[in-house]
Chains A and B, each alone.
Chain A
Amino acid sequence: MRGIKADGTAITVMAVDDSPVSRKMIKKALEPEGFQVIAEAGNGKQAVDMYASVKADVITMDVTMPVMDGLDAASAIKAINPGQPIIMLSAMGDEDIINDARRRGINDICSKPFKPDEIIEKILRIV
């Protein structure tokens, strides 16, 4: 169970994606390994608003979303807590988007479609 920490508690995740199916796929990949998806947001603004009351060990962040995109949401969350681990999860992986994500302090990038092992290993590297 790679999603369980040394103290026996689960590694917690906030899944931010405008697609409910994508959020379901994230849960399907992580929960069998013991990770707990404790919060879900459908756009960047919801994620930033939710961040005031919900702290997860890691945030998976889609890029293209309505209202506020994932890059702006990541910047807003990093402004509140620079140490918050964030993984960008997107089907768009242009070099300029990746460079922008790095400039904003996003810790790692995982392209869609992702394999469960790939996202799990990326989470374990930054948590």
Chain B
Amino acid sequence: MELNAQLAPFVKATIKNLKDMLGFEVNTGGMEPETDEFTSQGYTVLIGFTGGWKGRLILDMPRETAMKMASAMTGEPYSSAGDEEVLLSGAELGNIIGGNAITEINNSQPGLQIRLTPPSVFTGMGMTMFNARVNSSSLLIKTDVGPVKVNVAVEGAQ
């Protein structure tokens, strides 16, 4: 499957980190073009980027997946997605995935100088986010601890 140029580096970085850092089994689902709304599965990491590209990355997953992800990072068990360490783990995962993807983009297109903004993490079932003035693309990555959706929106992208 061919990914669009904006989504591809983020998907690649997400798969690499889910496999190498967290040790999850992964395979990719279909790409879903999205227009103006995005509905959360329960746990959402949002990290913006600015510079030559302006936009944002969302990593979205069920709360149970987020707890297992945090456990893989810290070695601790968690019983709530609202636990501070689960929230901090999501922020760090977003930072690493975003950083790896932006590094690839910056090195392949010198001069873009894209930088990340601090991550935010939200929990809540069925939360809907509205994207003003920007279209986004998503890819669902299936892991052995649940689905992780990667959603990227870049201003000016088709």
Interface residues in B, total, Cβ within 8 A: 27
In the assembled complex, B85 has its CB within 8 A of some CB on chain A: yes
Q: Please report which residues of chain B, range 52-73, place their CB below 8 angstroms from some CB of chain A when the two chains form the complex.
A: 70, 73
B99:A91 contact, CB within 8 angstroms: yes
Q: Residues of B contacting A91 with CB < 8 Å?
A: 95-100, 103
- The residue on A at minimum CB distance from B76 is A24
In the assembled complex, B145 has its CB within 8 A of some CB on chain A: no
Stretch of A15-23, A78-86, A100-108 that contacts chain B = A15-23
> How far apart are the CA atoms of A20 and B115 in the complex, in Å?
21
Q: Please report which residues of chain A, range 44-95, place their CB below 8 angstroms from some CB of chain B when the two chains form the complex.
A: 64, 66, 90-95
Q: Interface extent on A, as a size class? A: 20 to 34
> How far apart are the CA atoms of A93 and B110 in the complex, in Å?
13
Q: Residues of A contacting B91 with CB < 8 Å?
A: 19, 21
Instruction: Please list the residues of chain B having a beta carbon within 8 angstroms of any beta carbon in chain A.
Output: 17, 20-21, 70, 73-75, 85, 88-89, 91-92, 95-100, 102-103, 106-107, 110, 113, 115-116, 118
List 7 additional contacts besides A21-B85, A91-B97, A91-B98; criterion CB under 8 Å. Answer: A19-B91, A25-B73, A90-B99, A92-B102, A93-B103, A94-B103, A111-B100
